[in-house]
Each structure stands twice: as structure tokens, then as C-alpha cells.
Amino acid sequence: MTATPLSPRALMSLLANGVKAMDVLETALDLGLLDALERGPVRLGQLSVRFDLRPDRLYKLLDCLESLGFVHRDERTDDINDAEYRAVPGLQDAAVAVVGPDAIERDRDKYPWRHLHGRLADTLRGRLSITEDDFAWPPKTAAQIAGFEQSMAAGLGPIIEAFRTHAPRLWPDRHRLLDVGGGDGTLATHLLTDTPGLTIDVYNLPAVQPLVDETRARSGHGPRLGFVGGDFLTEPLPTGYDAMAFVRVLHDWPAGTAHRLIEQAYHALPARGRLLICEEFRTSERLAMQFFWSYFLIGVDSCASRLREITFYTSALRRAGFHEIEVLPGPFELISARKP
């Protein structure tokens, strides 16, 4: 059975019952039902015996999951015990990522989005904003910086995987990388572990240095993980590196700034130097997963929050003078380009 996309009307019914839908999902995850369904097909009768659940009640819970598009049902007789179910592939992992103990959505909930809730019209008219005390962009206080970089580090999984996949061809024997806007250095520690010949400096606002120092101490990478303090909006990027990376940095800024940063990297790199760009390049799937920030940042004018298509970056790289522009596949694509 192929799933048909839901009409706006049907989707709105699900949204209106979102709290209940999350209860269904969490319950199914905690009981172990999602795992059983993903290993399916499995009959309702078997599930009810295995998990000690009443079949008539379980049928309704499975209807909830089916309405969300999470399971397929094959019902061949009038007996609900014979109905056969199968989860869509990846359902269990997705549920862990969204409702599990370290879920990214739990982390996002700590941001003061409630200030906007019910007051979006005033926010859109500019009468209400998130204050700098509640959330400044870039983060300002030590607590804001630590909280934000922790959120970023929590979402690095697919990016680490993308870099890991392509590491052998990205980093020849000895290589110096500048990770521009490199957070608290978490990504750098993973790259250093994978590639012995690599050294990485994180370039970030000076106030982030204590976090990178902590990451260095924790990771044991010593001087292979450096820090260069600076503000890329007001200073040129430092020179002396074989490669530079912008990871989830350029989307925070308007197009003009993104172009300028790519041009700055071009000037700072040596001939044959490599620039890497990794972003949540815009797809309907990623836009949906970005929903929290799209909403919350309505009240934060200093952060542009632009998920852009890959083509924006490939043409910006060409325009800046880069060549050998490649889009390397992965859970997040990695754009690699070279200075001639």
C-alpha cells in the first residue's frame, strides 16, 4: 500500500490532536510496540498476547498510529486478531529522536517560545519580540552560549556521519582545518578521532573559548584542537589552513552575508585549499524538522534562519571563484569546493 499525502483538512485534525498523538507515540515506544511493529508484519492477536494488552483497545491505538501514517494494516477477516500490521521502516529510531530521553524536541522546549504563543499577530507586526535576555543571536551571556552550543552538539549525529563517510578523500595525510562557527568543538573532536593527521582550530566568538577549552580537556586531543577567537562579521577569516568548513553557519545569515563569508573564505585559503559547507539544505522533510526554529525565530530578527537549497551554495561558490564543486551524499549533504 502506498501512502497518499494527507489533505490539509486531515492534517489539521491530526495537529489539533497533537498532544494525544504524542501520547500514543510515547506509549507505543515505551511498551516496545514500535519495535515489534517494525520487525513485522505481526498480527494484532500476537501483539495483544505478547504485551498483555486488550485486543479491542489495541486496535484503536493502532488506528491512531495508522492515521499518522506510521503503520500499514492488512485486515483480511472480520476478526481483529487476524489484522496484520507493519510499521514504516525507521519508525522506532524516529520516535527515539523525537520523544526519547535525549530527544532534540525536549531540548528545544527549554527555549522561551511560550512568549510568542497566542501573540503571533503582535509579533508579526513588530510589537512583540523575544528579548535579548531570553535569547540573543548570537548568544551573549555565558548561560545562553552554553545552552545554545549544547543544543547544537545534540544535533550533530548526521553531520558527523556525513564527514566520517567522506573523511578519506577530504583529509590527506597532514591537514589543517578551520571550523568556522565551530560551536563548542564537538564536531572537531569526532573528526580528530577519525583522522590522525588532522589538526583543527575552531573559529568562534571569543566568549565561546571556555566551552572549546572544556571540550579539549574532555576529549584528550590536546593541541590538535585549537581555538581562534574572532567575529566573522567584522574581521577577515584567519589564514594558514588547508581547508575551512561552515557547518550550519551560513543559514543563520541573510544572502548578502552568506556570499560575503564564502568570499572571505576564498581569500583566506591557499591555492588548492578546500571549502566545505554542510547545512540542512532545504527539503520539505528538513523544513518540517526545522519547524521549532522557524516558529521561535519569528520573534528574533537578528537570526535570518534561511534553509536554502543546495543550488544557492553551489552558485555562490562558483561566483566566489571556487571550482571542483561537488555535492557529497550523506544524511546531510556535504558541499566540497576548491580554490584553483
Ligand X SMILES: C[S@@+](CC[C@H](N)C(=O)[O-])C[C@H]1O[C@@H](n2cnc3c(N)ncnc32)[C@H](O)[C@@H]1O
Q: Contact residues for ligand X (CB under 6 A)? A: 138, 152, 156, 181-183, 187, 204-205, 208, 231-233, 247-249, 252
**Among 239, 234, 228, CA closest to 260:** 234
Cell representation of residue 139: 548568544
CA distances from 264 to 110, 233, 311 (A): 35, 10, 20
Nearer to ligand X, 81 or 219 (CB): 219
For residues 120-153, one letter each, b for 16 or more C-beta atoms within 10 angstroms of the residue's C-beta and e for the rest, the string is eeebeeeebbbeeeebbbbbeeeebbbbbbebbb
Name the residue number minimizing CB distance to ligand X: 181
Nearer to ligand X, 37 or 212 (CB): 212
As measured in angstroms, the least distance from the Cβ of 285 to ligand X is 19
Give the angle subtended at the CA of 91 by the CAs of 165 and 71, to the nearest 5°. 145
Q: Cβ of 118: how many Cβ atoms within 10 Å?
A: 8
Nearer to ligand X, 183 or 226 (CB): 183
Nearer to ligand X, 112 or 138 (CB): 138
As measured in angstroms, the least distance from the Cβ of 63 to ligand X is 39
As measured in angstroms, the least distance from the Cβ of 329 to ligand X is 19
Residue 118: left if φ>0, alpha if ψ -120 to 50, beta else—which one?
left
Cell representation of residue 168: 578519506
As measured in angstroms, the least distance from the Cβ of 260 to ligand X is 12
Cβ pair 300, 138 in contact under 8 A: no
As measured in angstroms, the least distance from the Cβ of 175 to ligand X is 18
Q: Is the peptide bond before 138 cis (omega within 30 degrees of 0)?
A: yes
DSSP 308: -
Cβ pair 188, 163 in contact under 8 A: no
Question: Phi and psi (nearest 5°) for 91?
Answer: -65, -45
Nearer to ligand X, 64 or 277 (CB): 277
Nearer to ligand X, 28 or 139 (CB): 139
H or E element at residue 259:
helix 255-268
Nearer to ligand X, 27 or 193 (CB): 193
**How do strand 274-278 and strand 334-338 relate by DSSP bridges?**
antiparallel
Nearer to ligand X, 204 or 336 (CB): 204
As measured in angstroms, the least distance from the Cβ of 179 to ligand X is 7
Q: Identify any residues that bridge with 246 across adjacent strands, giving them in sequence order.
A: 180, 277
As measured in angstroms, the least distance from the Cβ of 220 to ligand X is 20
As measured in angstroms, the least distance from the Cβ of 123 to ligand X is 22
Q: How many whole angstroms separate alpha carbon 338 and alpha carbon 171?
A: 13
Cβ pair 268, 236 in contact under 8 A: yes
